[in-house]
Structure 1
Amino acid sequence: MADFLWLQPHTPHCTTMATWLYEQFHYEYAEQSLADWQAEFSAGQSNGAWPSLVALEDGQLLGGAALAKEDLPGREALGPWLACVFVTPLARGKGVAEALIEGVCARAREQGVGRLYLHTQDRAEYYAKRGWRAVEHFERWGKPQVLMARDL
């Protein structure tokens, strides 16, 4: 059974999570070095930009998800965002991502947030089954995207 906790800056899990995100969503970080993203992600754990819930099992990082202030350039009027959702391949299909997403939604609700947004390239059906609705289809980073929202 996984344990879920809010990530702290300057921990090995913070660096690892930032690296995984950089590799998984490389097209979003094309103009930023890995070291710069790691520093931004780490700072975001304490300045409110990227607070992230992570899943650990026996001390091993399984994945995470963030409650981001901003996540889509040019759409700053929207937010906050469910962002940075990533689960290691070995932990997929075990409910880890869903638990992370629900944990982020719960924290947003506790903070008085009424609606969260996300954007996805290829997981719109997954999110739709979990209460998210498509708001808009668009292209970014040379790829089709779906902007989605969920009322909390």
Structure 2
Amino acid sequence: MSLRRVIPLLTTLACLGCATAPMSFTSPTPRLAEDAYSCSLRKVNELGYTLTNTSKEAGFITATKQTSGMGTKLLTGSEYHDQLTISIFGDSASGRKIRATAGRTDRKSNLFGTSSQAMKPSEAGKADANALLQSCADGSMPTQGLN
């Protein structure tokens, strides 16, 4: 196989690998850690997510929201879930920040069991992460980066 054919193939494979990465948004917050945690927890609930893990001491919240309906599950065996992971880190001296990471999974069920596969975050999931930061951080535009 010639080098001309190998390079586009490797580039395509590398891009496909990046397509499923969660997307993180970070914004500074003037709030105390406890206040930022409480605000984030309240916003996650307002957005319709179900909490899956929380730690007030660590400033960590994970939550999931099913985004597909019964028709999708019956026809394809798939359930799509948006996931949010919130981290509150730093201190008042160095600058406290909130990071909201959006992800998505496809949970498939069949006669042989259930499997989960990571997917590219949905637009709604990314919008939810930004909405949380707009409500609980300092209101500035969050910076985006891959997790």
Give the TM bin, normalised by the shorter chain.
0.3 to 0.5
Q: Which has the higher strand share?
A: 2
Structure number with greater CO (CA < 8 Å, separation at least 6) is 2
- TM-score (structure 1 length as normaliser): 0.36
Q: TM-score, normalised by structure 2?
A: 0.36
